């Protein structure tokens, strides 16, 4: 796959409204069948007990798995059809990083898994997602540039 594809996906991710307006310190690195996304923890992501909310775990794990899949598809956007999330331990400081890897591909189904690590390299959550090709073209209209 052409490296420019990965760079366009990275820019699309980093420049999305969600990542510029809410998750403003996100990082992203994509290569073939692999993705890393990171986030510096802020209190704005905390639930009442002073650690990041499970929705943040989900977002990072799904994003990492999603881009591991879309890294091998250069014509259309993929869609998450299901995602199973497992929370292991809380996190409330530092940089967290999700690493996603493509595990299975067929014509119509893609499966990827991701692991979320805290700043000390300890696993804090993991998940597996199913993805499908959409009919939405990867184009500048959706930030793929």
Q: For the chain, which residues make up each domain, given as ranges? A: 3-142
Residue 25 has pLDDT above 80, yes or no: no
**What span, in angstroms and rounded, lies between the C-alpha atoms of 137 and 19?**
21
**What span, in angstroms and rounded, lies between the C-alpha atoms of 110 and 25?**
28
Name the residue among 82, 32, 42 with its Cα closest to residue 58. Answer: 82
**What span, in angstroms and rounded, lies between the C-alpha atoms of 94 and 43?**
11
**What span, in angstroms and rounded, lies between the C-alpha atoms of 30 and 136?**
20
**What span, in angstroms and rounded, lies between the C-alpha atoms of 126 and 15?**
25
**What span, in angstroms and rounded, lies between the C-alpha atoms of 65 and 67?**
6
pLDDT computed for residue 117 by the predictor: 98
Name the residue among 99, 95, 96 with its Cα closest to residue 71. Answer: 99
pLDDT computed for residue 111 by the predictor: 98
Q: What does DSSP say about strands 110-117 and 123-137: parallel, antiparallel, or unpaired?
A: antiparallel
Q: 3-class SS at 1?
A: coil
Cβ atoms of residues 123 and 87 within 8 Å: no
Q: Angle formed by the axes of helices 3-14 and 54-70, to 10°?
A: 160
**What span, in angstroms and rounded, lies between the C-alpha atoms of 114 and 61?**
6
State the pTM of this model. Answer: 0.96
Residue 24 has pLDDT above 80, yes or no: no
What does the pLDDT look like over 102-134, one tens digit per residue? Answer: 999 999 999 999 999 999 999 999 999 999 999
What does the pLDDT look like over 37-88, one tens digit per residue? Answer: 999 999 999 999 999 999 999 999 999 999 999 999 999 999 999 999 999 9
Does domain 3-142 match CATH 3.30.70.100?
no
pLDDT computed for residue 127 by the predictor: 98
Q: How confident is the model at residue 26 (pLDDT cuts 50, 70, 90)?
A: confident
pLDDT computed for residue 10 by the predictor: 97
């Amino acid at each position: 796959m052409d490296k420019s594809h990965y760079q366009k996906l990275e820019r699309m991710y980093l420049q999305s409204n969600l990542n510029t307006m809410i998750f403003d310190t996100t990082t992203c690195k994509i290569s073939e069948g692999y993705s890393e996304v990171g986030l510096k923890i802020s209190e704005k992501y905390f639930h009442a007990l002073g650690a990041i909310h499970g929705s943040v775990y989900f977002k990072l794990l799904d994003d990492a798995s999603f881009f591991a899949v879309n890294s091998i598809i250069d014509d259309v956007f993929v869609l998450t059809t299901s995602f199973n999330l497992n929370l292991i331990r809380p996190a409330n400081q530092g940089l967290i990083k999700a690493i996603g890897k493509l595990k299975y591909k067929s014509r119509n189904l893609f499966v990827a898994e991701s692991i979320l690590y805290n700043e000390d390299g300890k696993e804090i959550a993991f998940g597996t997602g199913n993805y499908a090709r959409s009919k939405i073209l990867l184009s500048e209209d959706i930030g793929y540039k």
